Structure formats: C-alpha cells, structure tokens
Amino acid sequence: MARDPLYGALSLARKAGKLAMGFDPVKDQVLAGRAFLVLTAADLSPKTCKRVEQYCQDLVELKPTALTQNDLAGFAHKPVGVLGVLDPNLAKLCKNALLKSAAVAAAQKPNQEDKSE
C-alpha cells in the first residue's frame, strides 16, 4: 500500500503532526475550525459516514478514499476510518494524491469492452 500516492501524503501529514485520526479527534478539530480536509476509509460503516457528513457539512471538505481501515493502520498503528488534515498545504497535497490514486486505479482496471462477446 505504500505505493499509493494518498498513503504517502497521509503518512507525511502524520509525521508532521498535522493529521487527526479517529472519529472524535477529527470531529473536535473540525468543530474548532482547524481541519482543512476530512477523509474516510473505503470500508467505513454507512452509519459512521452519515455522522461524519453531518459534522463536516458546510465546515470542511469531505472526501472518501479507496484505502481501507487496515490499509491506513500501516502508518496510524491502528485501524482508523476517519482522518482530518490540519494544514492547508498538506490538505492540497492529499487532494492531489487522491486524484492520482483514482487515475492509477482507473488505468489498472480491465477494459470492460474487451470482455464482451
């Protein structure tokens, strides 16, 4: 998973001390106005996703990721489903990495037209 651009950007944010991890810590940072981006794991429960959407609404940008909670445990040292980026430049880096990750995943996906007969 270390090859994923988003994983690398999030790891950098964590090392810089600018990453809140977990539902309650991220919620506290969002409500205090210190979060610039909130990311959710791909396997986060629908109920938790809804709760995150509610507290992020009109306060901070919320983006889902393709990374699972276990993927994120690689740098978080525990499974985590909600992340808050606390620096505007690192948030921009994470958004760009999220776009790159999506492009890489789309390029690796087999072409559906080739399978039709």
* DSSP secondary structure letters along the chain: -TTSHHHHHHHHHHHTT-EEESHHHHHHHHHTT--SEEEE-TT--HHHHHHHHHHHTTTSEEEE-S--HHHHHHHHSS---EEEE-SHHHHHHHHHHHHHHHHHHHHHSPPGGGG--
Q: What is the pLDDT of residue 83?
A: 97
The per-residue pLDDT for range 34-45, each reduced to its tens digit, is: 999 999 999 999
- The total of structural domains in the chain comes to 1
Residue 84 phi, psi dihedral angles, 5° rounding: -125, 125
Could you give the CA distance from residue 99 to residue 107 in angstroms, rounded to a whole number?
A: 12
Let me know if residue 71 belongs to a domain.
yes
Per-residue pLDDT for 108 more than 90? no
% pLDDT > 90, the chain: 74
Let me know if residue 111 belongs to a domain.
no
Let me know if residue 116 belongs to a domain.
no
Q: What is the pLDDT of residue 49?
A: 96
The whole-model pTM stands at 0.87
Per-residue pLDDT for 2 more than 70? no
Let me know if residue 14 belongs to a domain.
yes
The domain of 17 spans 5-104
Average pLDDT over residues 27-31: 97
Let me know if residue 45 belongs to a domain.
yes
Structure-model confidence comparison of residues 62 and 114, the more confident one: 62
- CATH number for the domain spanning 43: value is 3.30.1330.30
The per-residue pLDDT for range 53-96, each reduced to its tens digit, is: 999 999 999 999 999 999 999 888 899 999 999 999 999 999 99
Let me know if residue 13 belongs to a domain.
yes
Let me know if residue 114 belongs to a domain.
no
Between β-strands 37-40 and 61-64, what pairing exists: parallel, antiparallel or unpaired? parallel
Q: What is the pLDDT of residue 113?
A: 53
